[in-house]
Amino acid sequence: MHEWALAEGVISTALEVAEREGLSEITAIKIKMGELQQIDLEIFELALREIRQSQMSMVTNATAELEKEAAVLKCRVCGREWAFGDAPLADEERESIHFLPEIAHTYITCPGCKSPDFQFVKGRGVWIDSIVGR
């Protein structure tokens, strides 16, 4: 359940933004959920809800919209792009990437030239798209 730790980060960031921007209430948080990190959306939503409600703060009544983002990788050597979902991975390798997405470089190579030197074009992990408040 390290989803909880990332949900804590989302709420802490929202509170920081509220303070910085002089907001009295956060009304909505939009979050991109990158496929590479393989976050369990149910657990993440539950964590977000519980952390929001436990704090009784300006973020308590905010809505959270989660949007899945497919992970795309691009080889820095030959330029090939491919989807994370296409990578043949054992369960324990997927789990390691779940905890630390950069571990993808340990278990995945370019399907074209076999290089481990690739970048995450999109869909790495949890990312706050927008925070709305008043």
Q: How far apart are CA 108 and CA 37, in angstroms?
A: 14
- By beta-carbon proximity to other proteins, the closer residue of 2 and 80 is 2
Which residues 10-49 are close enough to bind other proteins by CB under 8 A? 10, 12-13, 15-17, 31, 47
- By beta-carbon proximity to other proteins, the closer residue of 5 and 56 is 5
Residue 36 is given by DSSP the state: G
**Token pair in block for residue 103:** 């571990």
- By beta-carbon proximity to other proteins, the closer residue of 8 and 81 is 8
Q: How far apart are CA 105 and CA 110, in angstroms?
A: 10
Pairing of strands 118-122, 81-83: unpaired
CB of 74 to other proteins, least distance (A): 13
Contact 33, 66 (CB under 8 A): yes
User: Rule CB under 8 A: is residue 126 a binding residue for other proteins?
Assistant: yes
User: Rule CB under 8 A: is residue 1 a binding residue for other proteins?
Assistant: yes
CB of 13 to other proteins, least distance (A): 4
Give 30's strand partners: 65, 130
Out of 99, 112, 114, 121, point to the residue binding other proteins (CB under 8 A). Answer: 99
Contact 44, 81 (CB under 8 A): no
Q: How far apart are the first and last CA of the chain?
A: 32
User: Rule CB under 8 A: is residue 123 a binding residue for other proteins?
Assistant: no
Query: Where does this chain bind other proteins (CB under 8 A)?
Result: 1-2, 4-6, 8-10, 12-13, 15-17, 31, 47, 96, 99-103, 105-107, 116-117, 119, 124-129, 131
